[in-house]
């Protein structure tokens, strides 16, 4: 009722303003039909303005999916813009992700029950606030249950990165504060963060809620991240006029706890080259935007050096390190490509693992993956996405020599999903994965080596 009164009042004011001008235009008075036509035109304009005002008010009150906005900001940080969350009040987003997966080829199920079908869910509440042009705060609460079929598979890289099995308890998954400086050419962040959001990012393969579910397509599988979200610091530098080159330095607690924070550490150093931001090239960022990242990392947790049976193993604070490349490139306004390559030191076991566990804790040396996605605009479904990825993970020769088993081939992965946006708040994504040489087993005499086929679906509700 209030909206109607407001619209009529605006209409009356506009009529009162233009009517004298109409009569003053000449000696002939306008006809009734002309006045009615003018009134109808004004009413349509008022209705349009009113709709725009309501839309703007709703946008200022809340965001439908805070996580997408924050994620996009981290991936596409631009000086002068910073985080892309509206500064009006607290912006609150919530979502539920349900994943159901099955396989007829479980290779670690036991009792001969190779056909498995399980489900999992996670629920998220996210709160974001931008303080004018100088600060940004973010809080992420998460709870979930089960991990679908991950416990039934023995693989180098598993199939459900979305699993957040907290036993249905709500946990503070992330919290951080970002301070901007020099017109947002510098962004310094402190808090509990997901390391994979700060290094090795990718526009098309970095979000398990809406993109690929397999671990290896979310981040490089040969990077020794802390075991979970960790306390850390992050610094982004993107100075004008060379803001097309962004430098990002990160530090995290290597064991993801709050004891002896600076005792076990994870460091990363990343360059991001964005050719579409070079003004002289005149590249249309709406069609040909892209990121080309090169990164280096180190982890100084306690490691044990791999050794053969007749050699002694070094133990202690041995440094692990590696490097990688990641790119994402729009080819058109609907089609995009991505790729990754990673390598890590081949002669040490993962952190805090000993030679006693060498068989079940492989050292993975290098990996590659590539793929692409196409938006549904080609078949008049603008918000739908079809995507495919393929990649391999290779164990190190030192691990193969030290392991009592004779397996150690490259494990391969393929994943295809179709995100169907049924409603603005609901998306259903059928997902299919294929894994060959699971856990490096490539010959029947080495044990189970069947190719693993995983089928499933993901439902994402945002409100």
CB-based contacts of 171: which residues, under 8 Å, 6+ apart? 141, 142, 143
Find the Cα–Cα–Cα–Cα dihedral 308, 312, 315, 321, rounded to 10°: -40
**3-class secondary structure, 219:** coil
pLDDT confidence of residue 279:
80
pLDDT confidence of residue 8:
43
Alpha-carbon span 84 to 73, nearest angstrom: 6
**3-class secondary structure, 163:** coil
Tens of pLDDT, residue by residue, the chain (463 residues): 334 334 444 444 444 444 444 444 445 666 777 777 777 777 677 666 666 554 444 333 333 445 555 655 555 556 555 555 555 567 888 999 999 999 998 888 766 678 999 999 999 999 998 887 788 899 999 999 999 999 999 999 999 999 988 888 999 999 999 999 888 889 999 999 999 999 999 999 999 999 999 999 999 999 999 988 999 999 999 888 888 899 999 999 887 777 777 778 999 999 999 998 888 777 777 778 899 999 999 998 888 888 766 565 666 668 899 999 999 999 988 999 999 999 999 999 887 777 667 777 889 999 999 999 999 998 999 999 999 999 999 999 888 887 766 677 899 999 999 999 999 899 999 999 999 999 888 766 566 667 999 999 999 998 8
Task: Tell me the fold of 72-462.
Answer: Porin (2.40.160)
pLDDT confidence of residue 362:
86
pLDDT confidence of residue 56:
44
Q: Domain limits of the chain?
A: 1-61, 72-462
Residue count of the chain, please give it: 463
Peptide bond into 238 cis (omega under 30): no
pLDDT confidence of residue 78:
61
Quick check: 164 and 140 in contact, CB under 8 A?
Answer: no
Quick check: 313 and 304 in contact, CB under 8 A?
Answer: yes
pTM: 0.80
pLDDT confidence of residue 132:
77
pLDDT confidence of residue 41:
75
Query: Read out DSSP for 230-272?
Result: EEEEEEEE--TT-TTEEEEEEEEETTSSSSSTTTSEEEEEEEE
Residue 178 has, within 13 A of its CA and on its CB side, a CA count of 29
The closest alpha carbon to 74, from 228, 166, 191, 182, belongs to: 191
Taking each helix axis from N to C end, the angle separating 2-24 and 32-61, rounded to the nearest 10 degrees, works out to: 140
């Amino acid at each position: 009722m209030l909206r109607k009164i407001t619209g009529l009042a605006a209409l009356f004011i506009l009529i009162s303003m233009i009517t004298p001008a109409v009569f003053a235009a000449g000696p002939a008075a306008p006809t009734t039909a002309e006045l009615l036509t003018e009134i109808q035109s004004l009413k349509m304009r008022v209705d349009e303005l009113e709709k725009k005002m309501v839309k703007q008010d709703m946008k200022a009150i809340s965001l439908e999916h805070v996580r997408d906005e924050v994620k996009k900001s981290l991936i596409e940080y631009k000086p002068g813009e910073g985080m892309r969350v509206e500064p009006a009040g607290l912006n609150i987003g919530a979502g539920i992700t349900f994943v159901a997966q099955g396989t007829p080829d479980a290779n670690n199920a036991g009792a001969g029950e190779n056909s498995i079908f399980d489900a999992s869910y996670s629920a998220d509440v996210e709160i974001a606030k931008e303080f004018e042009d100088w600060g940004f705060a973010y809080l992420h609460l998460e709870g979930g249950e089960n991990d679908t079929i991950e416990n039934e598979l023995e693989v180098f890289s598993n199939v459900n990165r979305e699993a957040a099995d907290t036993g249905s308890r709500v946990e503070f998954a992330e919290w951080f504060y970002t301070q901007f400086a020099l017109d947002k050419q510098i962004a310094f962040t402190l808090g509990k963060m997901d390391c994979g959001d700060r290094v090795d990012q990718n526009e098309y393969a970095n979000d398990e809620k809406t993109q690929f579910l397999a671990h290896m397509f979310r981040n490089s599988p040969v990077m020794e991240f802390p075991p979970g979200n960790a306390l850390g610091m992050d610094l982004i530098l993107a100075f004008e006029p060379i803001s097309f080159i962004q430098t990002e330095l990160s530090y995290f607690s290597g064991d993801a706890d709050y004891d002896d924070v600076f005792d076990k550490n994870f460091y990363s150093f990343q360059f991001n080259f964005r050719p579409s931001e070079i003004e002289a090239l005149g590249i249309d960022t709406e069609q040909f935007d892209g990121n080309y990242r090169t990164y280096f990392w180190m982890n100084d947790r306690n490691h044990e050096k791999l050794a053969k049976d007749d050699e002694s193993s070094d133990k202690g604070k041995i440094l692990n390190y590696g490097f990688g490349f990641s790119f994402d490139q729009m080819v058109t306004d609907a089609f995009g490509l991505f790729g990754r390559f990673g390598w890590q030191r081949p002669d040490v076991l993962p952190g805090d693992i000993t030679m006693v566990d060498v068989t079940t804790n492989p050292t993975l040396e290098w990996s590659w993956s590539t793929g692409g996605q196409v938006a549904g605009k080609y078949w008049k479904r603008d918000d739908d996405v079809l995507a495919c990825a393929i990649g391999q993970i290779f164990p190190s020769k030192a691990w193969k020599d030290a392991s009592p088993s004779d397996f150690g081939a490259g494990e391969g992965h393929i994943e295809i999903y179709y995100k169907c946006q049924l409603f603005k708040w609901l998306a259903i994504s059928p997902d299919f994965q294929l894994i060959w040489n699971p856990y490096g087993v490539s010959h029947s005499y080495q044990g189970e080596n069947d190719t693993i086929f995983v089928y499933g679906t993901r439902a994402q509700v945002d409100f």
